[in-house]
A and B are shown apart, each in its own frame.
Chain A
Amino acid sequence: MLEITELATAYGKIEALKGVSLSAQAGEVTCLLGPNGAGKSTLMLTLAGILKPQRGSVKFEGEELVGKTPAQIVERGMALVPENRLVFPALTVRENLMAGAYKRRDMAGIRSDIDAMFGRFPRLKERTDQLAGTLSGGEQQMLAVARALMSRPRLLLMDEPSVGLAPLVVAEIFSIIRQLHAEGVSIFLVEQNAHMALKVAQHFYLMEQGRVSFSGSPGELADDDVIQRAYLGQKRAA
């Protein structure tokens, strides 16, 4: 579904992505692991069209996305839930959801989707007319996911959805990811929390210093000693 080839993005003279190649299959949860500074967020921002790559290609369902504006990319069916949530703090929860549906014209569909979101995220329903800036971290994360879903994306990009959240909330977020996967939404997930990611993803990539250094199934990831020590701690006994 998503085919990234030799993608390179730089900040001025500093190359954050040095030629990244990976792919995400439709209907799967694909997870990208990696330490801070590896370039994961840069990759996500490039995919969403906010950063312009120096070279490389991003093919989504066969169509080249490099060079398109973020608005066009959302139109094509790919939506990003960015790091740090990014809700509209001065708009209410309901308005945030409406904003997520900006590209859509079908008012009836939008309204029923909003009801569906409230069904999926009951805590948001309680706060329909509350300003998003006053929500807790976990609620903002849910709102950010809901907002992205309002555009009915076929591929959902999620950049570190668990960062800065309490463990209970993190568990909630991941169960939502599992739900979405069960409903057929493809997800490309960037995470530092490898433990939780192991439970939901079908395929893993590891990114270090701007390059992909590992590609494999959850089993292969769990079997790899180096990765074990670096990202999963010494949890596994032999």
Chain B
Amino acid sequence: MTDWLQTTIDGLLDGGSYAIVGLGLSLMFGSLRRLNLAYGATAMLAAYLGAWLHARHHAPVWLVAVTVVASATVIGWYVERLCFAGTRDDAAQPRGAPIAGADGREVVALASSFAIWMQLEQLAVNLLPRHLNAFPSLAASGDWALGELLIRPDRLLVALLAAGLVLGLAAWLERSRAGLAWRAAADHRSAAHLSGMPVARLQTAAFSVACALSGVAAFAVLSLDGQVTPMFGMWVLLKGLVAAMLGGLGSVRGVLWGGLLLGVVEAHAQSLFGAQGREFATYALLFVVLVAPWRRGERGALSGGLRA
């Protein structure tokens, strides 16, 4: 029983990391109705810049943190301009057919974002060619004991940070006028235009905040490990995607539940089937959630937009 509880607790704490990683992705999707596949690579390149500063120039931890968040935002601006700005349906005027079909523009943005994913990953690897690269470590040295259970305080901190960011953002979206505007622009672009909202600027703002959040997530997660590898980009994208999808893409609070669920499922899968089983469980969970029959009504109609 204690083992089971311990596994669950470990899973919940890992889930905090997944939630914080998925928050930006869900926010982006909710705001733009587009999936940004370059999300992971953006965080990775930002993380590599931080690692480079740390390794080559012995930058202090706070500077690395600021660099990671700031560069994630800047890189995100580049991705947004290149992949998503042109596919907004602001203009009612029809464009020349991209990958056509009802989901045409969505698929184009998807496709160009994966192209940039390749590009950004290569840039990161060019910067730091080694597989293991040191990252400032804020890992705690001991565990807290709670009866027979052990809790890693650093992981707990990240999980609490995740909860704080999620709930804070959700409250802001629900209560503030600016948050209402973000939700309105995501819900119905044309109606937002007609209400006098600067839709393009609102979406760019949401995108930038999402990228900044990805930088925060990258810093938080990597400081637990003290290192970053070229697999980080894919890791961020996949974990974030699963967490966001489990909770409903576009739902801010949902990504918290999704991340926690993913963490717990993975932890138990690992204790039952080992490391490979854990990986398999992640994808199987994602696949099942996508293919599940109760999602019948979602063909083409992307649910909801941005929800708190």
> Which residues of A line the B interface, CB within 8 A?
11-12, 45, 48-52, 69-71, 74-75, 79-80, 82, 86-91, 95, 98-100, 102-103, 147-148, 151
Could you say which of B66-74, B162-170, B186-194, B257-265 contacts chain A? B186-194
Report yes or no: B195 in contact with A151, Cβ–Cβ below 8 A.
yes
30 contacts between A and B (CB under 8 A): A11-B94, A50-B92, A50-B190, A51-B91, A52-B91, A52-B93, A69-B198, A70-B193, A70-B196, A71-B197, A74-B194, A74-B196, A75-B196, A86-B188, A86-B190, A86-B191, A87-B191, A88-B184, A88-B188, A88-B191, A90-B187, A99-B181, A99-B184, A99-B191, A100-B195, A102-B181, A102-B195, A103-B196, A147-B195, A151-B195
In the bound complex, how far is the Cα of B197 from the Cα of A100, in angstroms? 9
In the bound complex, how far is the Cα of B92 from the Cα of A99, in angstroms? 21
Interface size class of B (residues with CB under 8 A): 20 to 34
Report B222 CB to chain A, min CB distance, Å. Answer: 35
> Which residues of B line the A interface, CB within 8 A?
91-94, 177, 180-181, 183-184, 187-188, 190-198, 304-305, 307
In the bound complex, how far is the Cα of B177 from the Cα of A40, in angstroms? 34
Report yes or no: A91 in contact with B183, Cβ–Cβ below 8 A.
yes
In the bound complex, how far is the Cα of B184 from the Cα of A103, in angstroms? 14
Contact partner of A51 (CB less than 8 A), chosen from B93, B195, B198, is B93
Contacts of A102 on B, CB cut-off 8 Å?
A: 177, 181, 184, 195-197
Report yes or no: B307 in contact with A99, Cβ–Cβ below 8 A.
no
Please indicate which of the listed interface residues B184, B304, B305 has the most CB atoms of chain A within 10 Å of its own CB: B184
Contacts of A82 on B, CB cut-off 8 Å?
A: 190-191, 194
In the bound complex, how far is the Cα of B99 from the Cα of A44, in angstroms? 30
Which 10 A-B pairs rank lowest in CB-CB distance, beginning with the nearest? Answer: A74-B196, A70-B193, A103-B196, A86-B191, A99-B184, A90-B187, A88-B187, A71-B196, A71-B198, A99-B195
Report B82 CB to chain A, min CB distance, Å. Answer: 23
Contacts of B187 on A, CB cut-off 8 Å?
A: 88-91
Report yes or no: B92 in contact with A151, Cβ–Cβ below 8 A.
no
20 new A-B pairs (CB below 8 Å) besides A50-B190, A70-B196, A71-B193? A11-B94, A50-B91, A50-B194, A51-B93, A71-B197, A82-B191, A87-B188, A89-B187, A90-B305, A98-B180, A99-B181, A99-B184, A99-B195, A102-B177, A102-B181, A102-B196, A102-B197, A103-B196, A147-B191, A147-B195
Contacts of B93 on A, CB cut-off 8 Å?
A: 11-12, 51-52
Contacts of B92 on A, CB cut-off 8 Å?
A: 45, 50-51
Give how many A-B residue pairs fall within 8 Å (CB-CB): 84
Q: Which residue of B lies closest to A9 (CB)?
A: B93
In the bound complex, how far is the Cα of B91 from the Cα of A91, in angstroms? 23
Report B206 CB to chain A, min CB distance, Å. Answer: 15
Contacts of A95 on B, CB cut-off 8 Å?
A: 180, 183-184
In the bound complex, how far is the Cα of B195 from the Cα of A45, in angstroms? 14
Report B200 CB to chain A, min CB distance, Å. Answer: 9
Please indicate which of the listed interface residues A86, A98, A151 has the most CB atoms of chain B within 10 Å of its own CB: A86
Report yes or no: A70 in contact with B194, Cβ–Cβ below 8 A.
yes
In the bound complex, how far is the Cα of B200 from the Cα of A69, in angstroms? 11
In the bound complex, how far is the Cα of B94 from the Cα of A87, in angstroms? 22
Contacts of B307 on A, CB cut-off 8 Å?
A: 90
Report yes or no: B184 in contact with A12, Cβ–Cβ below 8 A.
no
Q: Which residue of B lies closest to A86 (CB)?
A: B191
Report B240 CB to chain A, min CB distance, Å. Answer: 23
Q: Which residue of A lies closest to B307 (CB)?
A: A90
Contacts of A151 on B, CB cut-off 8 Å?
A: 195-196
Contacts of A79 on B, CB cut-off 8 Å?
A: 194
In the bound complex, how far is the Cα of B258 from the Cα of A229, in angstroms? 62
Contacts of A48 on B, CB cut-off 8 Å?
A: 193-194
Contacts of A86 on B, CB cut-off 8 Å?
A: 188, 190-191, 194
